């Protein structure tokens, strides 16, 4: 494994408990992301470097852009349409109620497929319990939802190949640490032919959030290892980039040319952080490749 250490620019020292779900909006030249336990959606403008945030009524696992000031947010009790108001307040409307398998669950990783369908996974909040009660479902604008996959502990690493025909999904629980690939029916929005794409157990870091570049390579955060790994479409580890924190959480290609890799991170509570004072920050890397624009939710 070749580890390179490009300069990681600190974009925002947010000290986020769990910074997740970065989404780049090209028409705004802005990055949006969430801090799950703080129940906030954050925004950073490239032109000014200024940030702002909106407080939500529940923990928010992932977001997807609808357009303008409207977003989709997967929270604890369901998937909501959220309007980010100019006065930093929010207006929410329930799209689909969560059909959790247990109490004390929330949504975690999710995004739109290449066709604009929203997919999101759920997990039991106490990760240490290792309960495989999580599921991945897809949600339509009319509120219809379908369970696509079940019996997952911590669904993560969801991403799609450039043509949309391959779906990736990981389980980041320490007892699993696998990344799977699926054949993805782009017309029906259904995954099939599940197979192991990468076994992360012998590699540094647990699989967390992911992105796919224009070459079809899969980038995934190696949580606990301070690394971002790039795998070829054949599942071969191509390179690893170091970041100045132990727990990178999710990455997204951004910038005018989609050649900047933004990385959110985690600042675990009750841990001595003298060796990583920037934990919970948002960073920018320049990996030398370009990404793909994130699809908007089709309403």
Task: Write out the catalytic residue numbers.
Answer: 208
Integer Cα distance of 231 and 174 in angstroms: 20
Integer Cα distance of 265 and 71 in angstroms: 22
Q: Please state the length of the chain.
A: 299
The conformational region for residue 15 under phi > 0 = left, psi -120 to 50 = alpha, else beta, is: left
Tally of CB atoms within 10 A around 290? 14
Which residues have a Cβ under 8 Å from the Cβ of 28 and sit 6 or more positions away? 45
Strand order in the sheet with 62-67: 62-67, 70-74, 78-84, 90-97
Kindly write down the DSSP assignment for every residue of 137-161, as one continuous string: EEE-TTS-EEEEEEEESSEEEEEE-
Strand order in the sheet with 19-25: 19-25, 30-35, 40-45, 51-55
Cα 230 to Cα 75, 227, 247, 290: the distances in Å are 29, 10, 16, 13
Strand order in the sheet with 9-12: 9-12, 282-285, 260-265, 248-254
Cβ distance 231 to 205 under 8 Å?
no
């Amino acid at each position: 494994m070749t580890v390179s250490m490009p300069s990681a620019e600190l974009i925002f020292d947010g000290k986020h408990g769990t910074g997740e779900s970065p989404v780049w909006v090209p028409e705004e030249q802005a990055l949006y992301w969430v801090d799950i336990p703080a129940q906030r959606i954050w925004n950073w403008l490239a032109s000014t470097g200024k940030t702002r945030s909106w407080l939500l009524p529940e923990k928010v696992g992932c977001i997807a852009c609808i357009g303008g000031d409207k977003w989709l947010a997967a929270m604890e009790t369901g998937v909501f349409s959220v309007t980010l108001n100019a006065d930093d307040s929010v207006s929410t409307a329930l799209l689909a109620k969560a059909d959790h398998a247990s109490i004390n669950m929330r949504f975690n990783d999710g995004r739109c497929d290449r066709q604009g369908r929203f997919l999101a996974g759920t997990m039991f909040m106490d990760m240490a319990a290792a309960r495989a009660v999580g599921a991945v479902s897809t949600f339509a604008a009319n509120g219809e939802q379908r369970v696509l996959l079940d019996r997952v502990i911590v669904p993560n690493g969801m991403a799609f190949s450039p043509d949309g025909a391959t779906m990736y999904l990981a389980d980041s629980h320490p007892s699993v640490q696998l990344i799977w690939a699926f054949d993805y029916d782009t017309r029906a929005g259904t995954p099939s032919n599940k197979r192991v794409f990468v076994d992360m157990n012998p590699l540094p870091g647990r699989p967390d959030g992911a992105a796919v570049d224009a070459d079809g390579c899969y980038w995934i955060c190696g949580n606990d290892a301070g690394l971002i790994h790039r795998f070829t479409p054949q599942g071969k580890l191509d390179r690893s980039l170091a970041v100045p924190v132990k727990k990178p959480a999710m990455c997204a290609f951004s910038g005018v040319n989609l050649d900047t890799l933004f990385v959110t991170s985690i600042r675990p509570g009750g841990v001595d952080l003298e060796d990583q004072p920037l934990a919970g920050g948002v960073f920018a890397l320049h990996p030398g490749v370009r990404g793909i624009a994130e699809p908007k939710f089709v309403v």
